[in-house]
Amino acid sequence: MNRRAGETILHGIVAALVVMVLLRTQRIRSPHTRLQFWLLAMGLPMGCTPLFWLTPWRLGDRFRDDWSLFSASHLAPFTWHGLELTGVAALVLALAGGTLFLRDAIPFALDLVSGRAPHHALTTPPAALTRAAEQAAVALGTAAPRLVVLTSRHPILICRGLRRPFIVASTGLCEILAPDELVASVAHEMAHAKYRDPTLGWGLMLVRGLCFFNPAVQLVARAAVLEIEHRADLSAARNAGGAEAVVKSLRKLSGIDSARAPRTSPRTWHSFRLAAIENRCQSLLRDERQAPATLARWILPTTAIGLGVILFLTIA
Which positions ≥6 away from 200 have C-beta within 8 Å? 228
SS3 track for 250-275: HHHHHCCCCCCCCCCCCHHHCCCCHH
Q: Whole-model pTM?
A: 0.88
For residue 167, the SS3 value is: strand
Task: Please report the pLDDT score of residue 137 as a whole number.
Answer: 93
- Look up the domain containing 76 and give its range: 2-315
Interval 63-99: pLDDT, tens: 888 888 888 766 655 565 566 667 778 889 999 999 9
Phi and psi dihedrals of 159, rounded to 5? -100, 125
Task: Please report the pLDDT score of residue 264 as a whole number.
Answer: 43
Interval 103-120: pLDDT, tens: 989 888 887 776 655 566
The stretch 299-304 carries a mean pLDDT of 93
**Are 226 and 21 within 8 A, CB to CB?**
no
The stretch 281-302 carries a mean pLDDT of 80
Domain count, the chain: 1
